Structure 1
């Protein structure tokens, strides 16, 4: 198994350790390259800046995205490691001065974060170079990586027993399976991934004004709908409301259906009926991110007021 040790800011770590969120955004203000070092679900560990040369916690890798600063805050809020938007923005803009009001930053989304007490901090590997600025990957197939991961697992076991919350899969043949993260992706990650997959445009109208775009669950989270992109649609806020209330749905072949109930109940809806029978105008490029027929059928049968 391959895992990553990323260098992080002390204030970011201590703030999040205090709040104990269910997911975090490990952001980088100048990041412009894809993060392809580890696979989805692999551990991503936190190492503080020198002289605090210790591994102090970590999480499990969900996705690496490039998001506008405003969306990053709207999606993750204090999970970015800052108490306010102004404080978060200042942390970014001191590196991006003169680059506009809403620059795009790199966001490494992690789920199931864990934070070690000071007494449990792990010394950095012996081959860690002082020249490393961002981070370094290791493998449990090699002795140094195996030693680090063994220490992490030991502390995770202590956290599990102490808090009764953190659940790690049963060990595999050697160093343990990677965590099954698909069912644990949080609401913040869901919003960010759906918005990115739809390239900041409403699936129905192609509206691109970011503040009015919302990530809608096809099968609601309250009905055991997962936080997966294939269970999501990026919709303009009014479309989102109609979709959630059953006045609108999407067929298996991605056509919009608008219920007659809008006209019957409100004597209105001319704008919305104009979309009836039309193909969705915007879909994710990757098939795996496109709306799942299973979730669409559930919405048609359980929510739609046709």
Structure 2
């Protein structure tokens, strides 16, 4: 779904936008860890200062809302779009329906800019997307970055580690089943939410998950580190947490790839 940026007075024009991926709430330190300078500040301290006047109880470690977008784009000033039907007392935003005249006018103006190549996009640092990694063909192919991937995985697993059920959010990380460096994608079905230690073990093949969602612990933990009792108790157990929606659950083919190609059996 398109999400457009409107400038404040005196400009009062649509100057860009993006495509809505999801909306979530995160503790302020985690929002900074995930999005960094995309939060609109140079440092975490600046980010806290920016939020201070907006927080009535001055609790700067409380959760904040995060609107996650893909493919942000910006228009040059001569192509800014005047939003129709925008009352001066609207402060939180406005929803347009493309089936109605106002929405159709706005979307036609946005689409014209894409058709003429007049948009300027900002890519996520360190992320290079290739054509096969794009989603289904739309006006602009949606590309999920690492930050979007992490938020989607976190919410899909209800903020619990897939293996342990741990829900200390700051200790949980989004793991790729097929590594991004090996043609894996930032796709929910290519991910698991894992406690940090299990994420590391999964990445090096000392832990895996079978296509039928059972945990496998490598004997090499004991051989190499002379320990691992806490991990071996989980061997062959089912995952503690999986997404409720089938379309968000880990892809069996990708799990099979990890088990056959990465797991140190």
For the aligned pair, the TM-score class normalised by the smaller chain equals 0.7 to 0.9
Match of 1:238, SS state, is helix
Larger relative CO (CA 8 A, sep 6+): 1 or 2? 1
Listed as ranges, the matches of 1:25-64 within 5 Å are: 42-64=1-23
- CA distance change for structure 1 residues 200 and 102 in 2, over 3 Å: closer, same or farther? farther
The equivalent of 1:135 in structure 2 is: 93
Q: Is 1:251–2:210 an aligned residue pair?
A: yes
Indicate yes or no: 2:82 matched with 1:123.
Answer: yes
Q: Secondary structure at the match of 1:137?
A: coil
1:145 aligned residue: 103
Q: Distance in 2 between matches of 1:114 and 1:162?
A: 5
Going from structure 1 to structure 2, the CA distance change for 1:264 and 1:160 (only over 3 Å counts) comes to: farther
- Out of 8, 11, 25, the position equivalent to 1:66 is 25
SS in 1 for 2:95: strand
CA distance in 2, matches of 1:219, 1:52: 46
Distance in 1 (alpha carbons) for counterparts of 2:101 and 2:256:
50
CA distance in 2 between partners of 1:161 and 1:302 (Å): 42
| Cα separation, partners in 2 of 1:263 and 1:236, compared to 1, 3 Å | same
SS of aligned partner of 1:76: helix
- The reply to whether residue 77 of structure 1 matches residue 36 of structure 2 is yes
TM-score, with structure 1 as normaliser: 0.75
**Selected match of 1:196 from 155, 164, 167:** 155
Give the secondary-structure state (helix, strand or coil) at the position aligned to 1:106: strand
Question: Where does residue 6 of structure 1 map in the other structure?
Answer: none
Alignment match of 1:89 (pick from 25, 30, 48): 48
Residue 18 of structure 2 aligns to a residue whose secondary structure is strand
Match of 2:132 in 1: none
Cα displacement (A) at 1:162: 8.0
Cα deviation digits, residues 97-154 of structure 1 (max 9, x gap): 32644222222211000011222212221x2111211111223333332222222223
Is 1:208 aligned to residue 167 of structure 2? yes
Paired with 1:294 and 1:68, the residues of 2 have a C-alpha distance of 34
Shift of 1:296: 0.8
Within-5 A mapping of 1:273-292: 273-292=232-251
Counterpart in 2 of 1:27? Answer: none
1:237–1:161 distance in 2 versus 1, CA, 3 Å: closer
CA distance in 1, matches of 2:224, 2:106: 63
- Name the stretch that deviates more: 282-291 or 68-77: 282-291
Pick from 200, 203, 209 the counterpart of residue 241 of structure 1. Answer: 200
Kindly tell me the number of residue pairs found equivalent between the two proteins.
252
Q: Distance in 2 between matches of 1:140 and 1:202?
A: 40
Q: In 2, are the aligned partners of 1:246 and 1:305 still within 8 Å (CA)?
A: yes
Note if contact 1:67-1:196 (Cα within 8 Å) is conserved in structure 2. no
Q: CA deviation at 1:248?
A: 0.8
Instruction: Give distance in 2, aligned partners of 1:254 and 1:93.
Output: 44
Deviations 1:215-273 (A, max 9, x none): 10111112222212222111111111110111110112221101122223333322221
What 5-or-longer segments of structure 2 have no aligned partner?
124-136
